[in-house]
């Protein structure tokens, strides 16, 4: 009976698309789904509305209320327009920036977004073709806009697209704006509520001029130009994995002074089908296979990759045996922090007001580096909007050095407010030249960092529990961890617990409680053990899974200890898994 009612509701909803102001292509797709014997696709496309969340929209492309199409994009833009007019209606002219990546339909959705904004009397700076996400953030700040939109689904599979909404500071929406925009979007219940009539007078195409300004700003981040001059012929293999990075990253590397940039021709092809990879995700080893192959052929010094919207960086380096190895997101982040703090100190740029930022699930070695160098460190929730929130809070009071997260994102600048693979690639290449100046490879730089600050290894584990019963099981697991926390994990005593739902931390040895200073609550638990391990647990906000982030610590007295430290850490991670039964 329940299934029959669902199908009835879906069919009624689909029927409105056949009689409403939808284009013929959409109507034909809906008819095909309605006439199909198997109604699964119809149900998936209409059983709910694609939700506009705090990060915007993300979903599979196609016709239907639960799909990415010009109508869901139009509704999102109409709702955002309505809110902008409420908030900034007193301004002579409200303005926004609109950009897009390489995905299928991205240009179409960007043009639709620009049309709806302009129809609502809002001036649009529309990028002439695909551009990196961080450049959209930069452009919002540069033009003094009130908001902006980037059409991208980041590193999701090719069937997906998305819509990221930004505020006037170039950061993704945060409270109170996120909730209020969501309310306005949810009020758009009919296609007739959306104004699609494009006003050409309010749409200004932008491109090369902004590119030049953005690259000049990134160039100002350079800390070791002399090292680059000495090693300008460093062999750098770079791949955009079919995405937007190919627009600016090679140009930026050349602006820094690098002359030997080796491309991966198969992946220079701009394509939303991502023909050479299963997933265009630099976290996945397979996504870097062609680049590493090219590096072997050319005896390169460094491999770098960016994801489709060029906000995340993946790298590979040669180890001490000459074998190519991938550097994970935690290692990339701590290497950036180490390099930036070290060079700022060497150049006399430290005034005592500097700070760095990391997310709570990112390696604690970053805190050790910051503490030892008397640099303040802020922890924040996962997601770059929270790093941007720390930057906003400290604007004019403290000096930002850099911030990042374990999921391959880093931001070494203040002129953009989202993770940036363009500037990160340039600084990673510079760091390689700086290390070479000291007679080290990038891999040896990482090893020496571990010798100085202690070895660390991290592993993320997702436990999938599907459906209603799965969601209930995940909820029970979190309640059990919260109400009956483990006394020891992998044989080491749990000495501290942080609960971000109650915003309290407890020292289990002294019994003392303290407040966690965070801007909001979050369903995250962290357990810290006597041997230096950190285990973070949280349910995913978008998928039917509970996530565990494990970090274990060790020590190294020389580079020769690296393999033993890694083996010991792997064994400890397995012991943690066994202890938590995951």
Distance CA 118, CA 400 (A): 36
Query: Tokens 């995340």 label which residue?
Result: 312
Rounded to an integer, the average pLDDT of 422-434 is: 98
pLDDT of residue 558 exceeding 70? yes
Q: With bands split at pLDDT 50, 70 and 90, how would you rate the model's confidence at 1?
A: very low
Rounded to an integer, the average pLDDT of 249-263 is: 98
Question: Pick from 534, 561, 539: which is nearest to 457 by CA?
Answer: 534
Helix axes 2-19, 24-35, angle to 10 degrees: 150
- CA 278 centroid distance within chain: 19
H/E stretch holding 384 reads helix 384-394
Distance CA 283, CA 525 (A): 25
Cα separation values, 169 from 14, 181, 430, 506, Å: 39, 16, 28, 35
Q: Quick one: 490 exposed, middle or buried, by C-beta within 10 A (0-12, 13-18, 19+)?
A: buried
Q: With bands split at pLDDT 50, 70 and 90, how would you rate the model's confidence at 468?
A: confident
Cα-flanking dihedrals φ and ψ of residue 240, to 5°? -85, 0
Helix axes 562-580, 442-453, angle to 10 degrees: 70
Q: Quick one: 226 exposed, middle or buried, by C-beta within 10 A (0-12, 13-18, 19+)?
A: exposed
- Predicted confidence at residue 126, as pLDDT, reads 98
- Predicted confidence at residue 140, as pLDDT, reads 98
Rounded to an integer, the average pLDDT of 212-231 is: 98
The average confidence (pLDDT) of the chain is 96
Q: With bands split at pLDDT 50, 70 and 90, how would you rate the model's confidence at 20?
A: confident
- Predicted confidence at residue 98, as pLDDT, reads 98
Rounded to an integer, the average pLDDT of 539-554 is: 88
Q: Are 456 and 552 in contact (CB under 8 A)?
A: yes
Helices (H), 276-364: 289-298, 329-346
DSSP state letter for 530: T
CATH code, residues 455-580: 3.30.310
Per cent of the chain over pLDDT 70 is 99
- Would you call 159 helix, strand, or coil by DSSP? coil
pLDDT tens track for 42-59: 999 999 999 888 789 999
- Predicted confidence at residue 469, as pLDDT, reads 79
Distance CA 32, CA 24 (A): 12
DSSP letter string over 393-433? HHTTTSEEEEEEETTTEEE--SS--S--HHHHHHHHHHHHH
Tokens of 77: 């833009």
Q: Are 504 and 448 in contact (CB under 8 A)?
A: no
Q: Among 127-141, 465-479, 520-534, 551-565, where is mean pLDDT lowest?
A: 465-479
Distance CA 405, CA 391 (A): 15
pLDDT tens track for 330-370: 999 999 999 999 999 999 999 999 999 999 999 999 999 99
Question: Pick from 485, 490, 470, 483: which is nearest to 539 by CA?
Answer: 470
CATH code, residues 56-206: 3.40.120.10
Q: Which CATH number fits domain 223-453: 3.90.650.10, 3.90.1330.10, 3.40.120.10, 3.20.20.70?
A: 3.40.120.10
Distance CA 7, CA 33 (A): 12
| Termini Cα distance of the chain | 37
Q: With bands split at pLDDT 50, 70 and 90, how would you rate the model's confidence at 415?
A: very high
DSSP letter string over 264-284? -HHHHS--TT-TT-S---TTS
- Predicted confidence at residue 54, as pLDDT, reads 78
- Predicted confidence at residue 420, as pLDDT, reads 98
Cα separation values, 102 from 131, 132, 246, 254, 408, Å: 8, 10, 11, 23, 20
- Predicted confidence at residue 542, as pLDDT, reads 63
Residues near 336 by beta carbon (within 8 Å), at least 6 away in sequence? 402, 404, 410, 412, 424, 427, 428, 431
Shared fold status for 223-453 and 455-580: no
Q: What is the dihedral of CA 80, 83, 84, 88, to 10 degrees?
A: -170
pLDDT tens track for 483-498: 999 999 999 999 999 9
User: How is the chain split into domains, by residue range?
Assistant: 1-47, 56-206, 223-453, 455-580
Query: Tokens 């819509």 label which residue?
Result: 163
pLDDT tens track for 196-216: 999 999 999 999 999 999 999
User: What amino acid positions are annotated as catalytic residues?
Assistant: 154
H/E stretch holding 378 reads strand 376-380
- Predicted confidence at residue 2, as pLDDT, reads 58
Distance CA 172, CA 385 (A): 5
Q: Are 42 and 57 in contact (CB under 8 A)?
A: no
Helix axes 70-88, 177-186, angle to 10 degrees: 130
pLDDT tens track for 119-148: 999 999 999 999 999 999 999 999 999 999
Bridge partners for 514 per DSSP: 505
């Amino acid at each position: 009976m329940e299934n029959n009612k669902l199908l009835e509701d879906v069919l009624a909803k689909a029927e409105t698309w056949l009689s409403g102001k939808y284009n013929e292509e959409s109507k034909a797709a809906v008819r095909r789904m309605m006439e199909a014997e198997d109604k699964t696709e119809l149900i998936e496309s209409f059983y709910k509305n694609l939700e506009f969340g705090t990060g915007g929209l993300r979903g599979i492309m196609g016709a239907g209320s639960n799909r990415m199409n010009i109508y869901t994009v139009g509704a999102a833009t109409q709702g955002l327009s309505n809110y902008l007019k409420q908030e900034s209606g007193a301004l002579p002219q409200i303005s926004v920036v609109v950009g897009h990546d390489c995905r299928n339909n991205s240009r179409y959705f960007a043009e639709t977004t620009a049309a709806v904004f302009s129809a609502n009397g809002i001036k649009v700076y529309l990028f002439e073709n695909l551009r990196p996400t961080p450049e959209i953030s930069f452009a919002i700040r540069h033009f003094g806009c009130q908001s902006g939109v980037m059409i991208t689904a980041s590193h999701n599979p090719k069937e997906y697209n998305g819509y990221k909404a930004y505020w006037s500071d170039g950061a993704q929406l945060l409270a109170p704006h996120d909730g209020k925009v969501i309310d306005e979007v949810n009020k758009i219940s009919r296609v007739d509520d959306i104004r699609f009539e494009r006003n050409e007078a309010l749409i200004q195409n932008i491109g090369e001029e902004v590119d030049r300004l953005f690259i000049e700003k990134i160039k100002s981040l350079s800390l070791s130009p002399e090292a680059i001059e000495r090693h300008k012929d460093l062999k750098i293999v770079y791949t955009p994995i079919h995405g937007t990075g190919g627009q600016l990253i090679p140009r930026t590397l050349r602006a820094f002074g690098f002359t030997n940039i080796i491309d991966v021709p198969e992946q220079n092809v701009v394509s939303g089908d991502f023909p050479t990879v299963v997933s265009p995700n630099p976290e996945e080893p397979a996504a870097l296979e062609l680049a590493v192959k090219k590096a072997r052929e050319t005896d390169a010094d460094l491999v770098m990759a960016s994801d489709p919207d060029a906000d995340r960086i993946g790298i590979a380096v040669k180890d001490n045996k000459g074998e190519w190895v991938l550097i994970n997101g935690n290692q990339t982040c701590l290497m950036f922090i180490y390099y930036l703090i070290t060079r700022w100190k060497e150049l006399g740029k430290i005034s005592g007001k500097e700070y760095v930022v990391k997310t709570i699930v990112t390696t604690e070695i970053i805190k050790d580096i910051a503490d030892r160098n008397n640099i303040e460190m802020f922890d924040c929730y996962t997601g770059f909007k929270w790093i941007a929130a720390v930057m906003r809070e400290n604007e004019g009071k403290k000096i930002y050095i850099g911030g990042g997260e374990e999921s391959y994102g880093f931001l070494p600048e203040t002129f953009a407010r989202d993770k940036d693979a363009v500037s990160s690639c340039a600084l990673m290449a510079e760091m390689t030249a700086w290390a070479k100046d000291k007679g080290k490879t990038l891999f040896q730089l990482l090893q020496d960092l571990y010798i100085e600050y202690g070895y660390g290894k991290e592993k993320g584990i997702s436990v999938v529990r599907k459906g209603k019963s799965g969601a209930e099981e995940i909820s029970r697991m979190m309640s059990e961890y919260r109400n009956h926390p483990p006394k020891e994990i992998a044989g080491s005593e749990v000495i501290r617990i942080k609960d971000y739902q109650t915003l309290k931390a407890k020292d289990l040895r002294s019994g003392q409680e303290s407040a966690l200073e965070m801007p909001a609550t979050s369903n995250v638990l962290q357990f810290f053990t006597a041997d230096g391990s950190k285990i973070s647990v949280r349910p995913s906000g978008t998928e039917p899974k509970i996530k565990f982030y494990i970090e274990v610590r060790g020590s190294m007295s020389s580079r020769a200890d690296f393999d033993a430290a890694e083996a010991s850490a792997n064994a400890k991670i397995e012991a943690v898994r066994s202890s938590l039964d995951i």
